Amino acid sequence: MNVSNSIREALKKQHIETPSWGYGNAGTRFKTFSSPGAARDIWEKLEDAAKVHELTGAAPSVALHIPWDKVEDFGKLKKFAKDRGIALGAINPNVFQAEEYRLGSIANPDKKIRKKAVNHMLECIDVMKLTGSRDLSLWFADGTNYAGQDDFRERKHRTRDSLSEVYAALPKNTRLLLEYKFFEPAFYGTDLPDWGTAFAHCTALGDKAQVLVDLGHHAQGTNIEQIVAFLLDEGKLGGFHFNNRRYADDDLIVGSTNPLELFCIFNELVSSEQSKDKLAVNTAKNVAYMIDQCHYLENKVEAMLLSVLNCQEAYAKALLVDRAALKVAQGRGAILEANQILMDAFRTDVRPLLAEIREEQGKPSEPMKALRSGGYLEKTAKTRGKASAGGGFPE
């Protein structure tokens, strides 16, 4: 495909962070099914992540979840990753699985439990210092199930106070990324239910606090790309947790059920990167592109590889949008013409272009085919076996 060198260079620099928890056995609240060869610990997770990066050249870092991925020597873990061509990425605290958190973590009525949650996040900041991570990625299961269960305003104050303590401990050149979710596990009121609430807290905290957008954490029909555009323009978009859903946070492979949505999101990101607005440009260039998926039935490495490939395709298509023509059509109010310009890019088959670029980088032109024929899946299935699994999230 004949495209500019700038597009080729942009594609070569694409960075998609994969999550450690996506390589191990995981499941719904009902059951976790075991998969032959699924990673059993953080060391094997890094091996799988390195394979995905080896095949694509676009997944050079791995997000960690603490305490799931806690080790005695993070320096050793960092070197283990580096020796395999990858780095350790965002640190994700776990403040939702301990028994004490049944009424919440940072919004809990009990001051001692709030302190426990804060201390764990401070521990994760120490991990960031050891791993060289830039981002502390925060998600909370806090909320209520019944009217009158707790005071909304007090819960807001507890949340703000806890976040402020964590924010104050952030090292230089690091960020706090605040995620939101409109329901689950709380069904009456969630303490961080939407991007506006997360935005308000991040604005109050300061410049090192930004919003993290998880594609599965929205009501049906929500225009996520519009949220992305707004946050970019405000300098408050920090990152993504890429996945896809059919109904609500289904943890499906990103781009599998709604590829147009993924393309439109990347379109807003590219539009901001190429704009004349310095704030939007700088914000877009510092967005953390992270995948957040637990693969229940699929082969873990195949699923993660396909996720990265889908992100590559969406980004490539967004780079092909004729922005000059689009701007003219929008200015003339040419509704369908503007839409067609966008859709022409979306309908372009960019797989040949990506194959060319991979070959230029010394990568296989067809990563999935290379994975399935290279023996890695058979080797891990044989050496790792089939780990036992029960129910719920990975431990």
Q: Average of pLDDT values for 83-103? A: 97
pLDDT of 341 > 90? The answer is: yes
Beta bridge partners of 176: 136, 209
Name the percent of the chain lying above pLDDT 70. Answer: 98
Q: What is the pLDDT of residue 2?
A: 86
Query: What is the C-alpha separation between 350 and 311, in angstroms, rounded?
Result: 12
Q: Average of pLDDT values for 225-233? A: 98
- At 263 the three-state DSSP class reads helix
Q: What is the pLDDT of residue 220?
A: 93
Residue 56, in any domain of the structure:
yes
Note if the pTM is more than 0.85. yes
Query: What is the C-alpha separation between 302 and 93, in angstroms, rounded?
Result: 26
Sign for the CA dihedral angle at 122, 94, 87, 17 comes to negative
Q: What 8-state DSSP symbol labels residue 297?
A: S
Q: Average of pLDDT values for 146-153? A: 98
Q: What is the pLDDT of residue 274?
A: 96
Q: Average of pLDDT values for 238-252? A: 94
pLDDT of 293 > 70? The answer is: yes
138 and 177 Cβ atoms separated by less than 8 Å: yes
Digit-coded pLDDT (tens) for 300-324: 999 999 999 999 999 999 999 999 9
pLDDT of 392 > 80? The answer is: no
Overall domain count for the chain? 1
Query: What is the C-alpha separation between 30 and 296, in angstroms, rounded?
Result: 11
Count Cα neighbours of 282 within 13 Å in the Cβ-side half-sphere: 7
pLDDT of 386 > 90? The answer is: no
Kindly state the tokens that stand for 42: 């953080």
Residues 6+ apart with CB under 8 A from 232: 268, 269, 272, 280, 283, 284
Q: What is the pLDDT of residue 26?
A: 85
Mean pLDDT, rounded, of the chain: 96
Residue 353, in any domain of the structure:
no
Query: What is the C-alpha separation between 80 and 42, in angstroms, rounded?
Result: 10
Residue 264, in any domain of the structure:
yes
Residue 6, in any domain of the structure:
no
Give the residue among 137, 12, 22, 15 at the shortest CA–CA distance from 87. 15
pLDDT band at 390 (very low <50, low <70, confident <90, very high): very low
pLDDT of 131 > 70? The answer is: yes
Q: What is the pLDDT of residue 65?
A: 98
Q: What is the pLDDT of residue 45?
A: 98
Q: What is the pLDDT of residue 122?
A: 98
Residue 344, in any domain of the structure:
no
pLDDT of 150 > 50? The answer is: yes
Name the percent of the chain lying above pLDDT 90. Answer: 93
Q: How many helices (H) and strands (E) does the chain have?
A: 15, 10
Q: Average of pLDDT values for 237-254? A: 95
40 and 386 Cβ atoms separated by less than 8 Å: no
Digit-coded pLDDT (tens) for 162-175: 999 999 999 999 99
Residue 231, in any domain of the structure:
yes
Residue 132, in any domain of the structure:
yes
Note down the domain range covering 278: 13-320
Digit-coded pLDDT (tens) for 36-52: 999 999 999 999 999 99
pLDDT band at 388 (very low <50, low <70, confident <90, very high): low
276 and 285 Cβ atoms separated by less than 8 Å: no
Digit-coded pLDDT (tens) for 60-81: 999 999 999 999 999 999 999 9
pLDDT of 393 > 70? The answer is: no
Digit-coded pLDDT (tens) for 99-116: 999 999 999 999 999 999
Query: What is the C-alpha separation between 183 and 78, in angstroms, rounded?
Result: 35
Helical (H) or strand (E) element with 228: helix 224-233
Beta bridge partners of 143: 190
Beta bridge partners of 189: 144
Give the residue among 279, 252, 337, 269 at the shortest CA–CA distance from 14. 269
At 192, which CATH number?
Answer: 3.20.20.150
Q: What is the pLDDT of residue 32?
A: 86
Cα angle 63, 292, 115 (rounded to 5 degrees) comes to 65
Cα dihedral value 249, 243, 61, 23, nearest 10: 70
Cα angle 35, 127, 303 (rounded to 5 degrees) comes to 25
pLDDT of 19 > 90? The answer is: yes
Query: What is the C-alpha separation between 241 and 239, in angstroms, rounded?
Result: 7
Residue 268, in any domain of the structure:
yes
Kindly state the tokens that stand for 91: 């640190």
50 and 394 Cβ atoms separated by less than 8 Å: no
CA 94 to chain centre: 16
Q: What is the pLDDT of residue 395?
A: 45
Q: Average of pLDDT values for 198-206? A: 98
